[in-house]
Structure 1
Amino acid sequence: MEESNDIARQLLHSLMQFRSHFRPKAYKGLKPSEYKLLFTIKSAKKHHGVDLTVSSLSKYLQVTAPSVTQLINRLETDGLVERRMDTNDRRSVKVMLTEEGEKVTKMVIQAYLERLQGFIDFFGEEKSRQLADSLSEMMEYFAQNDFSSNWDEWR
């Protein structure tokens, strides 16, 4: 049990270190939460063919609707997102990337990919593949066990 605790602590420490070192460099003064919103909008459109509402962004990002609205307001001021009325449901407003938002999101994704490619070159393809597979299994485990709902108890 003691060794298992040591492994858990090492994983926690490594994940926290990774998170702090892997944040994107500030582009146009954007915050990590704003990048995450841009990536979420892009991913929903690319992988599911849908534009998201403030409510759906709020649920996905697990933050309040007013918090998402503040993020959208800032990104809208910067010309990175726009709101459009849903043509099928005039009560619904969709949030979409502008052309500039697409450009910025692509640049940041490319920067991430270049950093990861540097790591793959350093670590080796085989070990990198094993790490990627292990991280995918880890995410599957957490998704199946839905630990996200437990975080509400900590607030």
Structure 2
Amino acid sequence: MNEEQYADVKKLMETFQRFAKADWRRETRWGIKASEIRALLAIQDICRYNEHGANVSDISKKLHVTSPTITQIMKSLTAHGLIERSTDARDKRMTTIKLTARGEEITGKAMARYRTVFTGLKESLGKEQTDTLVHLLDQVYAYFKEASMLDDE
């Protein structure tokens, strides 16, 4: 690798490191962690298509995290009164999860905030650059997903 190529790779690595260190995905709002907000939004989305409610496995798949991680988040959300858990009437081994009224309120606030932030980003970049960014980020995601699969071999 020549010096110019190394400089380009180093710049790319530094940019990704800035995102890794950014607190915007970890900040606490409304008394709960960002990971808990993402879980609430996932539950809301799952429940939109399944009137019986979500389960840990559904949420885990949607957020691409392990079931034990989701189980811990569910305990916290239950303690905050944001979700209610019940035994599935169809399968007593399954627990269904639904948002409480307070959980619905928080997801509404979160979605409003996300829309505001990403609308501002779109307005700042303009349509063409926004479309390019989305396309590039999709390519980056696909590359890292494929590269991580190679690591498992």
> TM (normalized to structure 1)?
0.74
Structural RMSD (CA): 3.0
Equivalent in the alignment of 1:134: 136
Cα distance change on mapping 1:9 and 1:132 into 2, 3 Å: same
* 8 Å Cα contact 1:24/1:112 also seen in 2: no
Instruction: Report deviation, 1:121.
Output: 1.6
Give the number of equivalent residue pairs: 149
Output the CA distance in 2 between the equivalents of 1:104 and 1:29.
10
Q: Which residue of 1 aligns with 2:15?
A: 14
Query: What's the % identity of the aligned pairs?
Result: 26
Q: Distance in 1 between matches of 2:82 and 2:102?
A: 6
Question: Paired residue for 1:62, among 41, 60, 65?
Answer: 65
Q: Could you tell me which residue of structure 2 aligns to residue 77 of structure 1?
A: 79
Unaligned runs of 5+ in 1: none
Equivalent-residue separation in structure 1 for 2:150 and 2:101 (angstroms): 35
The 1:18–1:69 alpha-carbon spacing in structure 2 relative to 1, beyond 3 Å, is same
Q: Which AA in structure 1 matches 2:92?
A: R
Specify the alignment match of 2:109 in structure 1: 107
TM-score of the two chains, using structure 2 as the length reference: 0.75
In structure 2, C-alpha distance between the alignment counterparts of 1:102 and 1:95, rounded to whole Å:
13
Indicate how the Cα distance of structure 1 residues 110 and 14 shifts in structure 2: closer, same or farther if over 3 A, else same: farther
Aligned ranges for residues 32-47 of structure 1 at < 5 Å? 32-46=34-48
**Runs of 5+ consecutive residues of structure 2 not aligned to the other structure:** none
Cα distance in 2 for partners of 1:141, 1:61 equals 17
Return structure 1 stretches of 4+ with deviation > 6 angstroms: none
Task: Report the AA paired with residue 128 of structure 2.
Answer: E
Q: State the shift of 1:29 in Å.
A: 1.9
Alpha-carbon distance change, 25 to 32 in structure 1, aligned in 2, over 3 angstroms:
closer
1:82·1:96 contact (CA, 8 Å) conserved in 2?
yes
CA apart distance, 1:111:
0.6
* 2:45 is aligned with 1:28: no
CA distance in 2, matches of 1:49, 1:12: 41
Answer whether contact 1:83 1:94 (CA < 8 A) is retained.
yes
Call closer, same or farther: CA 1:61–1:140 in 2, change over 3 Å.
closer
**Post-superposition shift, 1:148?**
6.8
Letter of the 1:105 counterpart? T
- Structure exhibiting the larger radius of gyration computed from Cα positions: 2
